[in-house]
Chains A and B, each alone.
Chain A
Amino acid sequence: MVTINFDNELRRAGATSTHGWRRYTFLARRHVLGTVGLVIMTAFVLTALFADLICRYDPLTVDSAHALLRPSAQHWMGTDSFGRDVWARIVHGARISLAVGIGSTALGGIIGVIVGLTSGYLSGWVDLVFQRVTDILQALPLLVLALVMTAALGPSLPNVIIAIAIPLVPVVSRVIRANTLALREQPFVEAAKSIGMSETRIALRHVLPNTLAPLIVLATAQLGSTILTEASLSFLGLGIPEPYPSWGRMLSESAAEYVRTAPWLVIFPGIAISLAVFGTNLFGDALRDILDPRQRG
């Protein structure tokens, strides 16, 4: 079980004051890499929110007269084979990555929590069935399962979110189940039972809040991999359909022919994906160090 007392943690780490913004500056100094990650993530979110204000070109407007232009003052990152501005497409692509990243992590997280909590709390045959289903889902690599799911559901934004969320369910439910099993034996659960609280209420009010720390750590760690999976699916032509500017789609198979003739079409979308994932990974690592001291390396 993981219970956190932030103030104690901070004092133990040598913080002189644990009040107000000082605790944040202390954490930022202690976790430089995590802070860098947080800055990248914030930039990523702001880009997605204010995409329309950031660039002057429309990401979908085709302009064949200006196809495959090199990066210039007019088009910072050049244009693609349809004459669309690459910078505009990358900025708007942040929306898709963010939507898929947050959407599928949240969906997979919620289903995973429900499954894990029920499984761990009820035990018996419910647990047995959920465990077998988890085994089945975990016997396939994430990308393979997501590929088959998108093939089955058809390419669209909501379907891609579902296809990436389902493989996350077993990852989340395993952790929540293990936590629930440990929490069930705790004296405070026994106390709640003895005063006549209903099982559902105990599960939701006492067990669930205590599994939040590992859940947050896990969700942040998965955010990067969901963004990567969306990019891979779109790269393979089975993710977000044209004309939406998905970073993976921008690098799709035809990218191999532009390696020679238009390298800017290959370099910039790749940097965008890597930076976004790198930021979430850095932040996720720091968050794990802070919230889950047992795993501290």
Chain B
Amino acid sequence: MFGYIVRRLGLMLVTLFGISVVIFFLLRIVPGNIVDILFDAAGFVDPADKANLERELGIDQPLVFQYLHWINGLLHGDLGYSYVSEKPALQEILPRIPITARLAAFALLFSASIGIPLGVLSAVKQGSKLDYALRVVSLSGLSLPSFWLGLLILMAGVAMFGSIPIFNPNPQTLGEMFSTYCLPSLAVAFRSSALTMRITRSSMLEVLRQDYIRTARAKGASESSVNFHHALKNAILPVITVIGIEAAFLIGGLIVTETVFNVPGIARFLVEAIRWRDYPIVQNLVMLIAVVVVSANFIVDMLYAVFDPRIRYTD
């Protein structure tokens, strides 16, 4: 087990190193840097000024040197400076993390509490009209773009309260809390609860065919005991995997949702930074996302061994 963990951690480092190289160089094949954008906007270019600014930002150096400088900084907790705000990137990124994390936590909560029960229901009633209806709903969950769902929620807000909910960083009342965090996370959660439901359903169906379920029925166990005690307990493992990996991949849905709801989290920040070619912010945010995804994968694998005694990782 120990050897396995060490090997996994080593592979994680290799992956993260690969991502850092890919992102760094990908961003720099873009024709035009921040200096070009700023000078384009001014309409007048003095080459000497331009060279000065490029030197100041360190983007006149060879790319390899810039890359090493970035990695060295990363390892020492220095993420560089935002080109746009000129503040340390760390100062820009840190306060936005809790906002996005809260949205993601709410979304996961909704996704699990809606997706798992409906998935069980759909599997137990396989082939019924209810199963059919639930499958269509879950498929539509995978088909509606979450930004459109967000816009529809805003539209409902206008119809019901006459106004668009405005992001409030410190919600005081329960109502403010609801419109600040729950509404945007619902727009994201619809999709991921549909995914959770589909996985729960197919995993339950797989388990319900097993011999031990027939045995449980034969010895007279009640329907609910069979479904929840015997079946769900064994079917939940793939569901945990999906939820764990979804936790990291929710960022994709959050990018558009934070934009729709004007939430100042890291997902919307990434889009803004990309538009402004604010490399220090983009590369650090992408690394942050990669670290979260890679760690989530690792944690899920470890949880597997904890939840299922049949799985033991050998060296």
- Kindly state the interface size class of chain B when it binds its partner: 35 or more
Q: A141 and B155: CB pair below 8 A?
A: no
Q: A135 and B18: CB pair below 8 A?
A: yes
Q: Which of A12-20, A50-58, A62-70, A229-237 contacts B (4 or more CB under 8 A)?
A: A229-237
What is the CA–CA distance of A285 and B282 in the complex, to the nearest angstrom? 37
Q: A281 and B142: CB pair below 8 A?
A: yes
B118 within 8 A of A: no
Q: B143 and A278: CB pair below 8 A?
A: yes
What chain A residues lie within 8 Å of B23 (beta carbons)? Answer: 148
* Chain A nearest Cβ from B122, distance in angstroms: 9
* Chain A nearest Cβ from B236, distance in angstroms: 17
What is the CA–CA distance of A238 and B251 in the complex, to the nearest angstrom? 17
B14 within 8 A of A: yes
A232 touching B289 in the complex, CB below 8 Å, given contacts A132-B14, A152-B26, A260-B164 = no
Which residues of A from 113 to 145 have beta carbons under 8 Å from B? 132-133, 135-136, 139-144
A232 touching B155 in the complex, CB below 8 Å, given contacts A274-B143, A274-B145 = no
Q: Which of the residues B16, B140, B202 comes within 8 Å of A278, measured between beta carbons?
A: B140
* Chain A nearest Cβ from B226, distance in angstroms: 19
Q: A149 and B26: CB pair below 8 A?
A: yes
Q: B270 and A140: CB pair below 8 A?
A: no
What is the CA–CA distance of A239 and B155 in the complex, to the nearest angstrom? 25
Q: B14 and A148: CB pair below 8 A?
A: no
Q: Which of B39-47, B94-102, B255-263 contacts A (4 or more CB under 8 A)?
A: B255-263
What is the CA–CA distance of A232 and B147 in the complex, to the nearest angstrom? 8
Most buried by B among A135, A253, A259: A259
Q: Which of B27-35, B49-57, B68-76, B171-179 contacts A (4 or more CB under 8 A)?
A: B27-35
What chain A residues lie within 8 Å of B275 (beta carbons)? Answer: 237-238
B22 within 8 A of A: yes
Q: B201 and A147: CB pair below 8 A?
A: no
Q: Which of the residues A154, A224, A231, A259 comes within 8 Å of B142, measured between beta carbons?
A: A224
What chain B residues lie within 8 Å of A282 (beta carbons)? Answer: 139
What is the CA–CA distance of A154 and B31 in the complex, to the nearest angstrom? 9
Q: B286 and A285: CB pair below 8 A?
A: no
For chains A and B in complex, what number of residue pairs have CB atoms within 8 angstroms? Answer: 141
Which applies to chain B's interface (DSSP): helix, strand, loop or mixed?
helix
Closest Cβ neighbor of B16 among chain A residues: A139
B299 within 8 A of A: no
Task: Mark each residue of chain B from 183 to 211: 1 if its CB lies under 8 Å from any CB of chain A, else 0.
Answer: 00000000000000000011001000000
Q: Which of the residues B164, B282, B294 comes within 8 Å of A148, measured between beta carbons?
A: B282
* Chain B nearest Cβ from A151, distance in angstroms: 5
Q: B139 and A278: CB pair below 8 A?
A: yes
B63 within 8 A of A: no
What is the CA–CA distance of A149 and B22 in the complex, to the nearest angstrom? 10
A172 within 8 A of B: no
Which residues of A from 237 to 293 have beta carbons under 8 Å from B? 237-238, 248, 251, 253, 255-256, 259-260, 263, 266, 269-270, 273-274, 277-278, 281-282, 285
Which applies to chain A's interface (DSSP): helix, strand, loop or mixed?
helix
What chain B residues lie within 8 Å of A266 (beta carbons)? Answer: 148, 151-152, 155
Q: B18 and A136: CB pair below 8 A?
A: yes
Q: A236 and B256: CB pair below 8 A?
A: yes
What chain A residues lie within 8 Å of B15 (beta carbons)? Answer: 132, 135-136, 139
Q: A132 and B18: CB pair below 8 A?
A: yes
A274 touching B18 in the complex, CB below 8 Å, given contacts A142-B252, A148-B282, A149-B26 = no
Q: A259 and B151: CB pair below 8 A?
A: yes
What chain B residues lie within 8 Å of A297 (beta carbons)? Answer: 126, 201-202, 205
* Chain B nearest Cβ from A270, distance in angstroms: 4
Q: Identify the B interface with A (CB < 8 A).
A: 11, 14-16, 18-19, 22-23, 26-27, 29-31, 126, 132, 135-136, 139-140, 142-145, 147-148, 151-152, 154-155, 158, 164, 201-202, 205, 248-249, 251-252, 255-256, 259-260, 262, 270-271, 274-275, 277, 282, 286, 289-290, 293-294, 297
A140-B290, A154-B30 given; 8 more Cβ-contact pairs under 8 Å: A33-B135, A132-B15, A135-B15, A231-B145, A256-B262, A259-B164, A266-B148, A266-B155
| Shortest 5 CB-CB contacts between residues of A and residues of B | A270-B148, A143-B252, A136-B18, A278-B143, A141-B252
Pick 8 A–B contacts, CB within 8 A, sort by A.
A139-B297, A140-B290, A151-B274, A152-B26, A152-B29, A238-B275, A251-B147, A270-B152
